[in-house]
Amino acid sequence: MRKTAVVLASVLVAACNSTYKAASPLAPQSSGNTPTPAALASVDLNSLNAELRKLEAQSDYFDFDKFAIKPEFQNVIRKEAEFIKSHKQDFVTLEGNADERGSNKYNMQLGNKRALAVEQTLVALGVPQAQIKVVSQGEEKPRLTCHEEKCWKENRRVDFVHQLN
């Protein structure tokens, strides 16, 4: 009895680790190694989502009390522009952020100036203005919350938030 249970458990574990997926009765079937349109759409969607996650993980960082785009972040903006231009259904929100130093009003204005600077660069690179929205978060969305330069440096940024329609 114990031997049967061990064998049955082994079979169940092997079955759970299998990568076999039953075909959906609604999905078009294909013969041979040619992928179905549904499979191609799934791969494209997965690839697109991976690319979006990679783009959204990047930010454009700024010096203290500045809104000029630093040369080392031009490439980040260039990659964003290439993606947006090639996906007409993509709309990006530029979220300008500031560190906690300064008044709330000042930090809202600084976050807005940073986002506008990135917007101007995207437009100069050929991105239609209709695909861009600018929002200032001021100091309200810190990435790190300590009260020292390593955190402040991380909080002086513009984030790219994409929405595909």
Instruction: Please write the tens of the pLDDT for every residue from 1-60.
Output: 444 333 333 433 344 443 333 333 334 444 456 555 554 455 588 888 888 889 888 999
Q: How crowded is residue 104: how many other Cβ atoms within 10 Å of its Cβ?
A: 12
Torsion angle in degrees (nearest 10) through CA of 61, 63, 68, 74 = -40
Tell me what pLDDT residue 42 has.
Answer: 54
Q: What is the mean pLDDT of residues 156-165?
A: 95
Unique residue bearing structure tokens 């002086």 = 156
pLDDT at 32: 53
Question: pLDDT by residue (tens digit) across 118-133?
Answer: 999 999 999 999 999 9
Please give the Cα distance from 111 to 134 (Å, whole number): 10
- DSSP of 2-41: HHHHHHHHHHHHHHHT----PPPTTSPP--TTPPPHHHHH
CA–CA separation, 27 vs 120, rounded Å?
45
What tokens were used for 98? 């500031």
The structure's pTM equals: 0.73
pLDDT per residue as tens digits for the range 52-107: 889 888 999 999 999 999 999 999 999 999 999 999 999 999 999 999 999 999 99
Task: Note the pLDDT of residue 29.
Answer: 46
pLDDT of the residue at 25: 36
Q: What is the second-level CATH architecture of the domain 60-165?
A: 2-Layer Sandwich (3.30)
